Structure 1
């Protein structure tokens, strides 16, 4: 009986995995992914729900990555500036430049 309960969950996971592969790895659009899922036998409402959920998860993942880039970029840049101003005898231009680029990358992606 336990296997019967897990089967719909496994089928749903397989559909999500397949749709995620289409959208992320194969770079299919949401429309194309919905069309492919419908061609595989899934009804329109379910395919729309799966694609919408995946789109939301992709957006959240991109925002999280952008925020992480901004945080680490700012830390590298500020750390390089502080180390340079502390007059250790070196100019930490690599850390400043790397941090600035990473911060700008995060800002542009968010």
Structure 2
């Protein structure tokens, strides 16, 4: 029984890797990925579970990236404004503009 457990886990890992490749790299939509998994021998319920789990994971990754953009963009923009206001004789346009763009990109992607 123990010998089939690693083989079973290896199969599950292969299915998830295949489905993730279809979703991310090949830009297939969820319905197409479910159908392709079914044509590869997976039952409809298992295919739906795999795609659903991957969609949740991808959404979490995108939200983490958006929060990172919010933080870094806000810090760059605020730092540029602070250094400009500090009367250093120089306006830090690059930090202000790029930081602002990154902040709003993160804000838009978070929604």
Q: TM-score, normalised by structure 1?
A: 0.96
Equivalenced residues, count: 110
SS at match of 1:77: helix
**1:50 corresponds to 2:43:** no
**1:65 corresponds to 2:65:** yes
Deviations 1:14-43 (A, max 9, x none): 000000000110010100000000000000
**Structure 2: 5+ residue stretches without partners:** none
Q: Distance in 2 between matches of 1:91 and 1:47?
A: 55
The corresponding residue for 2:81 is 81
Deviations 1:64-104 (A, max 9, x none): 11111011000000000001111112111100001000001
Q: TM-score, normalised by structure 2?
A: 0.95
| Root-mean-square deviation (Å) | 1.1
Moved over 6 A (4+): none
